[in-house]
Every structure is written in C-alpha cells, then in structure tokens.
Structure 1
Amino acid sequence: MEQIGTPVGSYAPDFELPGIDKHVHHLSRYLEKWRGIGVIFISNNCPYVLSYVDRLKKIQSQFHDQNFTLIGINSDKISCSQENCLENMKKFARDKQLNFPYLWDSTQEVAQSFGAQKTLSSFLIDQLGIVFYKGCIDDNSQQPAAVKQPYLQRAIAAPTNRAAIAL
C-alpha cells in the first residue's frame, strides 16, 4: 500500500479503532477532552518498544495532569492475527502496566495515514487536531539513563513550538 503521511502543520487523520478496553476510540473524542495528544505506534514484540515502555509510562504520568495523554497504536500485522491480537495486546498492557490507551490498527490504514513507517513513530497533536511534532522520542534507544535529548518531552512541554525534529 502507498505511504500517505501527515506533515507537521496539517490536520491529523481522524481514526476509529478498537482498544484493549473493548471500546472504540476516536481521535476526535480525544481532541474534545485533551489539550494535547501523543500518538505512538508500538507493538508487543519489538525490542525497541520494550526498551521504551517505562519511558512512555513516565511521559504519560508526567504530563497527564497538564491535560495531555498518550495513545499507543499497534499496527503490527506480522505478530498479530485477527484471532489473538487484542488478547495479546491486553496481556502486554497488563504485564507492562501501561497507563495509556492501547488501540489496534488491524488494517494499518491509520499508520499509513500518519506516515508511521516503524514502531515508535511519534506524533504530537494539539487540541485543534494539528500535528505539531513528528519525530523520535529521544536520542538513545538503548540506555534511558544516557538520554541527552528528550525530544518528545520537550515538544509536549512547549506546545507553542511547532517545529518538527526529523530524525
């Protein structure tokens, strides 16, 4: 399928996806409630995701009281079959104690609409639905203690900064 992508400064594509909580989630509903939203494409088995889970939980905890939420979206068609994906996602979320919504993009259409080409592709969306950040979470995927550039956290903390960091 052709990669579509959403550039910084454009409206984020709305979505309607099932979550592990048995509800259907719409980006438009999140925009009604939250000042900012971080969409992060994750999967249950990616080693990079596993190294970032605690950092994502920390980001969610750090900014939740500032009317911000992360949303994890799994668009991994390789490790998820129709029959077991949501159950595996529920187990992953429970085992890792995720503190943010975890949704399933079974057709990969949402990932393609955003232009997410790999796990941990990160997008920040303001309350108007405009993508104001597209980039990396930070500068060190292996060692959380060695992070020097917490890109995502800086972008969340300064939502008036509408510059993308393309890494």
Structure 2
Amino acid sequence: MSETPSNMLALGTTAPEFYLKDTNSDDTNFSFADIKGEKGTLVMFICNHCPFVIHVVEEIVRIANDYRVQGLGVVAISSNDIVNFPQDSPKLMTEFAFENSFEFPYLYDETQQVAKAYNATCTPDFFLFDNQNKLAYRGQLDDSRPGNGISISGSDLRGAIDGVIYNRIINPNQKPSIGCNIKWKK
C-alpha cells in the first residue's frame, strides 16, 4: 500500500463548485451549494477499496452523524479511475455507502475535474470549509494509520470542525492526510 500525503490546498481558498451524481440515488445530483451546511461544510475524498479509508470509515460516519445535526454539511466524493479500478465503480460505491450506513451523499467524480479543482491527492483527503465557503482545515483525521497501533479518535478533524462551528481559532499548523493516491485516468 502506497502512502501519499495531501497537497495541502491554501487555507482561505474558496470551495470549488461541483455538480456530481449521487451513487445512492438513480437520478440525484448535488452541487456544493446543495451540500453546504449553515455552520460549515466537510468535503471528503474517499474510495471503496483503500485500506486507509477502510481503517477510518466508522469514525468518518460518526463524525458526519455527530456534526450534521449541528449545522455541518457533509459529502464524500470518489474520483478514482473505474476502468483500471473497477472496485470503485458507482454500483460498488452504493453498496459501500449502504454497508457503512452513510447518511450523506457519496458522489462520483467521473471526469476527475472536481478532485483536480480541490487539489485532492489521496484517500482519505479532508477539506473543511467555514460558513463563508473558505477553507479552514485540510489534513488528517488523526494520527492513526493501518497497523501503527494508534487508536482512531478523529481528533484533528473534530478539533477543526469544533473551531468552525463554535467560531474558535483553528491551528494553522495542520498535518497532511496520508492515504492511497487517487487513481488518475491515463
């Protein structure tokens, strides 16, 4: 398993817009404006098969469930090339979302333009925007990685979300996420 770090998009960047198909519905598309929460918005780049995502998916769902009721918009996006990585196909994304009890949209970025606009490089890759759609946090969930023995807490991301929701200062020294590289089309 290759370890790829986040690119760390500049803090303060305005959230790139998107309009993508929700794999949990036959005919629903979502834009950033549709997902946007009253207090802020969490955009996550994930996929079905990455061991780093599988390692933290339960905490991702807990975070979404804990904070959506507090005004946080939440969305997950998969941008992987499904020709060479069919395990990330929209049909299997639907199954993955169901098996993991996603109550947030899981969108498919077929053209990979959204991942490029966000400068996403790995799965998982987290982008937290404030209520003005400005990037407040990008980086890791916490220090846990598959096999490193550190318990999953979500502490880095939870601290940033608390900062956005409760208007607290968020530490600008943020650690990049580490995960599988996005599978780019050739």
Tell me if TM exceeds 0.5.
yes
Q: How many residues align?
A: 161
1:158 equivalent in alignment to 2:163: yes
Q: Tell me if the contact between 2:59 and 2:152 (Cα under 8 Å) persists in the aligned partners.
A: no
Q: Tell me if the contact between 1:6 and 1:115 (Cα under 8 Å) persists in the aligned partners.
A: yes
Deviation at 1:40, TM superposition (A): 0.8
1:79 equivalent in alignment to 2:85: yes
Percent identity over the alignment is: 26
Structure 1 regions of 5+ residues with no counterpart?
none
Structure 2 regions of 5+ residues with no counterpart?
1-6, 177-186
Which of 43, 53, 57 is 1:39 aligned to?
43
CA distance in 2, matches of 1:29, 1:148: 29
Map of 1:19 onto structure 2: 22
Deviation at 1:29, TM superposition (A): 2.4
CA distance in 2, matches of 1:76, 1:131: 23
Closer/same/farther in 2, CA of residues 12 and 57 from structure 1, 3 Å limit: same
Structure 1 residues 26-72: Cα deviation after superposition (integer angstroms, max 9, x where no partner): 002223x5321111110011111111110001101111211113211
Q: Tell me if the contact between 2:59 and 2:153 (Cα under 8 Å) persists in the aligned partners.
A: no
Q: TM-score, normalised by structure 1?
A: 0.86
SS in 2 for 1:38: strand
Q: TM-score, normalised by structure 2?
A: 0.78
